[in-house]
Structure 1
Amino acid sequence: MFVLVNLKAYPCDPVEIADAARDVSDDYGVDIAVAPQTAHLSRVADTGVETWGQHVSPVEHGSHTGSTLAEAVTDAGATGTMINHSECRQKLADIDAGLDAAERVGLDTTVCANNPEQVGAVAALSPDAVAVEPPELIGTGTPVSKADPDIVTDAVAAAEAVDEDVSVYCGAGISTGEDLVAARNLGAEGVLLASGVAKADDPKAALENLVEPL
């Protein structure tokens, strides 16, 4: 299982969490990545943890003030990026252009989608993975695997129907090892989570509790 910890814009210490994620990844043999704020990418990458961008803009070099250039993300040490998170939604054409930007510099990609129908649409753009995240469950502590397991199984089926090489991840409300096991049993190959680690008093303990059942 792949675990992507999105730090969003939470008031946390990105280096502390990155150190914890690196150590837990090594100790438990689970692939854990951290997606900090763009300004913190280099600091997080310097810890040795797998580092992801929270977003790349659908642009090339040029007059794009305020954009997140894919080249800058890789220069900072990231090896992957999310695209179209529910809190940073894009039109389908911009998702496609963002994927082109990521491919231009060799970034792995996970495109977020709200439901199985959207999963099928973005899978047709050939990202490395699609993450199904019902927005109403984000930050609630109630995982989609419990609230509506069919969303996960339908998302897996939707992606497979379009491109069997696109992995499906599960997000929204993930916080426990039980949630990870449930997501895996429903066919997901990874999870996205945020507050369960970023807001934890002890991020390393939270990550250990998350992956230990695997």
Structure 2
Amino acid sequence: MFVLVNLKAYPCDPVAVATAARDVAEASGVRIAVAPQAAHLDAVAETGVETWAQHVDPIAHGSHTGHTLAEAVADAGATGTLCNHSEHRLTLADVDGALDAAERTDLETVVCANNPDQVAAAAALGPDAVAVEPPALIGGDVSVSTADPDIVEGAVAAAGAVDPEVDVYCGAGVSTGDDLAAAADLGAAGVLLASGVAKADDPRAALEDLVSGV
């Protein structure tokens, strides 16, 4: 299982979370990555944890003030990127362009989607993985794998019908080892979470509990 921790813009210490994630990954053998704000990519990458960008734009070098360039996040130490998170939605054309930018810079990709139909559309664009995240459950205390297991199973089936090489991750409300185990039982290859770690009083303990479900 892959654990991708999105720090969003939460008021946490990104280096402390990254250090905890690195240590828990090394101790458990579970693959854990951290996606900080773009300004913190360098500092997080320096901890040695697997580092992801929260977003890249469908642009190349040029006149693009305020955009996130794939080459810049790669230079900062990122090895992957999220795309189309429910808090930063893109058109399908822009998702395709962002994936092209990521491929240009050898960034691994996860495209977020709300439901199995969107998962199928995203999988058709050829990302490395898709993450199914019903918006109503994001940031809550109930995992999608518990509240709506059918949507996870449906997402796995939808992606598999389009491209069996595209992994499916489970997001929204994931925070415990039981959530991780439930996601795996439903066919997910990983989880995408944020507040369960970024807002935890003890991120290391939260991560240790999370990987206990593997």
TM category, shorter: over 0.9
Correspondence for 1:39? 39
Q: Does 1:88 align with 2:88?
A: yes
Correspondence for 2:201? 201
Q: Which runs of 5+ in 1 are unaligned?
A: none
Letter in 1 for 2:57: S
Q: CA deviation at 1:133?
A: 0.2
Correspondence for 1:123? 123
Q: CA deviation at 1:141?
A: 1.3
Letter in 2 for 1:70: A
- Write out aligned runs for 1:19-30 (5 A): 19-30=19-30
The root-mean-square deviation of aligned C-alpha atoms, in Å, is: 0.4
CA deviation digits over 1:74-96, x for unaligned, max 9? 00000000000000000000000
Letter in 2 for 1:16: A
Letter in 1 for 2:6: N
Letter in 2 for 1:94: D
Q: Which runs of 5+ in 2 are unaligned?
A: none
Correspondence for 1:78? 78
Letter in 2 for 1:122: A
- Write out aligned runs for 1:36-115 (5 A): 36-115=36-115
**Secondary structure, aligned partner of 2:4:** strand
**Secondary structure, aligned partner of 1:24:** helix
CA deviation digits over 1:104-157, x for unaligned, max 9? 000000000000000000100000000000000001111111111000000000
**Secondary structure, aligned partner of 2:131:** strand
Letter in 1 for 2:8: K
Q: Give the structure-1-normalised TM-score.
A: 1.00
Q: CA deviation at 1:213?
A: 2.4
Correspondence for 2:180? 180
Q: Give the structure-2-normalised TM-score.
A: 1.00
Letter in 2 for 1:109: T
Letter in 1 for 2:165: D
**Secondary structure, aligned partner of 1:131:** strand
Structure 1 residue ranges, 4+ long, deviating more than 6 angstroms after superposition: none
Letter in 2 for 1:157: A
Q: CA deviation at 1:159?
A: 0.2
- How many residue pairs match? The answer is 214
Partner Cα distance (2:188, 2:90) in 1: 24
Letter in 1 for 2:195: S
CA deviation digits over 1:18-73, x for unaligned, max 9? 00000000000000000000000000000000000000000011110000000000
Q: Percent identity?
A: 73
